């Protein structure tokens, strides 16, 4: 049941009407039933059983990991290992089978192809939908209870609702218990005019980004990636840039739809994007892109790894060996923890070395190198008398960050790590910048008319992002609600203007939505996790 299907709209309308008819004490129960039905429609009966068993084990564990219970550490570690093992074994079976084939090949043995293929098929049949999201949400909650950061939720229904709130079960955001506990249950929610209009505006905006922008970009990206041998030179960086915008329009559009639906229910979910393309360095970029995943890994992996006995010993050894001044500048334990976190980010995005490299280790290495080279950069800017506060320098930083990002992201789209490097090899095989001026781009699957629609639609996205970014520029804050400025701008306009804008956007989606021959409404890129 896709978020932009007729079935889901009917389902959500029924849920919404009954939700606001019910008294406050029953609203959360209705959301729980709706979530169970939504998950049942998107999973097989066996997958539903596995999902329920996972919830039962973690619910019972959360009650038994407090200090008042016997052996809380043993219970916590056991269940966390079981959760991680379930995620790894069901989601990344093909990746581990590939490693097995490679290792057996090194020793001259032929791997059992039938066995590995059966294991992959079995994992696909057993793997519950959205396991990459709900497993992190539940593991984060269990960790918070164990650390004493969150109170244990003893009501099994409320625990299940937190773990399976149906809008976020599509593809996040990856929430923490403290962010949701007071919103999912408590006082009665009322549908206000402001929430109704704001939620609908956000849903329409998300659908616009998905159908009008992302789907058109996908046509050109697919053409170049599928036949990169006949598209050398500047076609490759063009495809990489287009994929970055495609992924942003697809994933941020999906988040707008999810947050819009949740807003109609009176429940605000955390933001996942905050104008990432305005970032001046890669670390800042990832604080604005897939924000909740980065926050989860920072809280439960990066800091946890640094607190382990091994890393504490490593830090003490380095201080003794190299001195405190050296460790202030070059904290080896921190860099190692960062690389572990980025490795896991890459692995989470997909079981393949192209993911681990492109959106994992590569990004971590660049961030570490940029941190190490900061003194050198400052000296260079002083020697060259560069005004680092000038708009031109900020623009240079943003372009540099974008180019570094799209190189790594290009491997996310490639089928394999090898294909990714082969593509970039062809990028330097010929110098052909004229493709941007001789109408060559119109032969990539969309004609001139479609291309102009794409440019105009992306211009609309640019204007909205400028409005969103304006508030940050004025306040100097980077952790603000990215939609506040844009929605405040609309809220301050006359009713007729807002109505016309709503109608125009709806018409553009109907007339300009790019569906294509193989279009699948449920095929959001991050919806596959």
Contact 86, 152 (CB under 8 A): no
pLDDT at residue 171, as a whole number: 80
The reply to whether 112 and 29 lie within a common domain is yes
Share of the chain above pLDDT 90, in %: 46
Q: Tokens 């793997």, residue?
A: 127
**Overall number of domains in the chain:** 3
3-state secondary structure of 280: coil
Is residue 284 assigned to a domain? no
Asked which of 154, 173, 190 is the last residue of a domain, the reply is: 190
Q: 118 and 174, same structural domain?
A: yes
Cis peptide before 173 (omega within 30 of 0): yes
pLDDT grade for 251, boundaries at 50, 70 and 90 = very high
Domain housing 379? 292-400
Which DSSP category does 203 fall into?
Answer: H
Alpha carbon distance 297, 517 (integer Å): 39
Same domain, 169 and 52: yes
Question: 474 and 332 in one domain?
Answer: no
Return d(Cα 5, Cα 339) in angstroms, integer.
40
Q: Measured in Å, how far apart are the chain's first and last C-alpha atoms?
A: 15
Residues 264 and 304 in one domain: no
* 232 within some domain: yes
Question: Do residues 360 and 373 share a domain?
Answer: yes
Q: What is the pLDDT of residues 374-398, one digit of tens each?
A: 888 889 988 988 888 898 999 999 9
Determine the average pLDDT of the residues in 419-434: 92
- Assigned domain for 186 exists: yes
6 lies in some domain: no
Residues 180 and 200 in one domain: no
CB 27 within 8 A of CB 19: yes
Are residue 128 and residue 186 in the same domain, yes or no?
Answer: yes
In this model, does residue 115 exceed pLDDT 80? no
- Which tens digit of pLDDT belongs to each residue from 443-469? 898 889 899 999 999 999 998 888 887
In this predicted structure, the answer to whether residue 85 has a pLDDT above a threshold of 80 is yes
Per-residue pLDDT tens for 221-240? 999 999 999 999 999 999 99
DSSP per residue, 376-407 = HHHHHHHHTT--TTSHHHHHHHHHHHHHHHHH
CB-CB contact of 301 with 294 (8 Å): no
Query: In this structure, what are the phi and psi dihedrals at residue 273, rounded to the nearest 5 degrees?
Result: -140, 145
Report field, pTM of the whole predicted structure over 0.85: yes
Identify whether residues 184 and 210 lie together within a single domain.
Answer: no
- The predicted pLDDT at position 482 comes to 46
3-state secondary structure 317-366: HHHHHHCHHHHHHCCHHHHHHHHHHHHHHHHHHCCCHHHHHHHHHHHHHH
Q: Is residue 8 part of a domain?
A: no
3-state secondary structure (DSSP) of residue 273:
strand
Residue 154 domain-assigned? yes
For residues 384 and 465, state if they share a domain.
no
């Amino acid at each position: 049941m896709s978020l932009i299907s007729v079935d889901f709209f009917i389902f959500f309308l029924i849920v919404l009407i009954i939700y606001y008819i019910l008294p406050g004490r029953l609203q959360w129960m209705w959301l729980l039933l709706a979530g169970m039905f939504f998950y049942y429609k998107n999973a097989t009966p066996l997958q539903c059983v596995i999902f329920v068993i996972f919830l039962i084990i973690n619910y019972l564990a959360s009650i038994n990991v407090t200090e008042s219970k016997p052996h809380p550490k043993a219970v916590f570690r056991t269940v966390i290992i079981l959760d991680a093992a379930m995620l790894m074994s069901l989601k990344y079976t093909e990746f581990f089978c590939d490693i097995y084939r490679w290792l057996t090949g090194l020793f001259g043995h032929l791997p059992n192809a039938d066995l590995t293929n059966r294991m992959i098929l079995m994992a696909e049949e057993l793997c519950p939908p959205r396991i990459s999201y709900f497993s992190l949400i539940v593991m984060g909650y269990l960790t918070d209870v164990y650390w004493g950061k969150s109170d244990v939720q003893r009501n099994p229904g409320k625990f299940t609702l937190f773990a399976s709130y149906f809008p976020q079960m599509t593809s996040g955001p990856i929430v923490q218990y403290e962010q949701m506990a007071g919103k999912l249950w408590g006082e009665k929610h009322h549908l206000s005019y402001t929430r109704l209009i704001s939620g609908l505006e956000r849903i329409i905006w998300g659908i616009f980004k998905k159908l009008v922008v992302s789907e058109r970009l996908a046509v050109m990206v697919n053409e170049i990636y599928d036949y990169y041998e006949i598209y050398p030179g500047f076609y490759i960086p063009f495809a990489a840039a287009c994929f970055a915008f495609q992924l942003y329009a697809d994933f941020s559009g999906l988040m707008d739809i999810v947050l819009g639906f949740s807003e109609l229910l009176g429940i605000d979910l955390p933001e996942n994007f905050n104008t990432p393309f305005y970032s001046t360095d890669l670390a800042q970029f990832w604080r604005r892109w897939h924000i909740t995943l980065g926050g989860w890994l920072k809280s439960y992996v990066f800091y946890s790894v640094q607190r382990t006995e091994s890393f504490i010993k490593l830090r003490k050894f380095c201080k003794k060996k190299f001195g405190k001044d050296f460790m202030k500048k070059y904290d080896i334990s921190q860099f190692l923890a960062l690389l572990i976190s980025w490795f896991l980010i890459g692995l989470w995005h997909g079981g393949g070395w192209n993911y681990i490299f492109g959106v994992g280790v590569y990004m971590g290495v660049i961030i570490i190198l940029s941190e190490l080279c900061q003194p050198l950069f400052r000296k260079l800017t002083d020697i060259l008398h560069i005004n680092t506060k000038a708009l031109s320098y900020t623009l240079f930083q943003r372009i540099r960050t974008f180019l570094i990002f799209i190189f790594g992201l290009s491997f996310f789209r490639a089928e394999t790590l090898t294909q990714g490097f082969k593509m970039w090899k062809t990028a330097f095989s010929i110098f052909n910048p004229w493709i941007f001026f001789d109408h060559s781009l119109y032969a990539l699957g969309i004609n001139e008319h479609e291309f102009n629609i794409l440019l105009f639609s992306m211009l609309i996205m640019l204007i909205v992002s400028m409005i969103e970014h304006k508030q940050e520029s004025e306040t100097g804050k980077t952790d603000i609600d990215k939609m506040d400025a844009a929605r405040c701008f609309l809220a301050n306009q006359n009713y007729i203007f807002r109505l016309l804008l709503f109608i125009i956007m709806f018409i553009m989606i109907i007339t300009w939505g790019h569906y294509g021959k193989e279009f699948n409404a449920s095929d959001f890129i991050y919806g596959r996790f």
